Amino acid sequence: MNSKLFRISLTAALSGFLFGFDTVVISGANLPIKELWDTSPWFHGTFIMSMALWGTVLGSLLGGIPCDRFGRKKTLFWIGILYAVSAIGSGIATDPLICSPFLDL
């Protein structure tokens, strides 16, 4: 098998695995989030529980813009940096409203 084809296939498979993992994680957090924020079923299902899908749709629609401007490698590099920063921020968060001082701007 071609080495490049194998790497592309492995990357696609791992990406699908990570998206599926995110879906499972948010499914497990469904009821605690609904109880914590006391949201309506419509708002909860349409926005909160499907946020990963909304991000995927927007990313697929708008992702070509930075790729055309900066190139795929640079764009993927900065996506990785932003993903790591968001993961660290999620890991050190002490409560759901950790960034609430920034919401008053």
Q: Tokens representing 39?
A: 């949201």
Q: What is the mean pLDDT of residues 44-67?
A: 83
Residues 91-105: tens digit of each pLDDT: 787 765 665 555 554
Query: What confidence score (pLDDT) does residue 97 get?
Result: 60
Query: What confidence score (pLDDT) does residue 95 get?
Result: 65
Q: Who's near 36: CB < 8 A, 6+ residues apart?
A: 96
Query: What confidence score (pLDDT) does residue 105 get?
Result: 45
Distance CA 82, CA 29 (A): 23
Distance CA 54, CA 91 (A): 23
Give, for 49, the enclosing helix (H) or strand (E).
Answer: none
- 3 vs 20, residue with greater confidence: 3
Q: Are 30 and 49 in contact (CB under 8 A)?
A: yes
**Which residue is listed with tokens 């940096």?**
81
Query: What confidence score (pLDDT) does residue 56 get?
Result: 80
pLDDT, the chain, mean = 80
Q: pLDDT confidence of 68, banded at 50, 70, 90?
A: very high
Query: What confidence score (pLDDT) does residue 2 get?
Result: 86
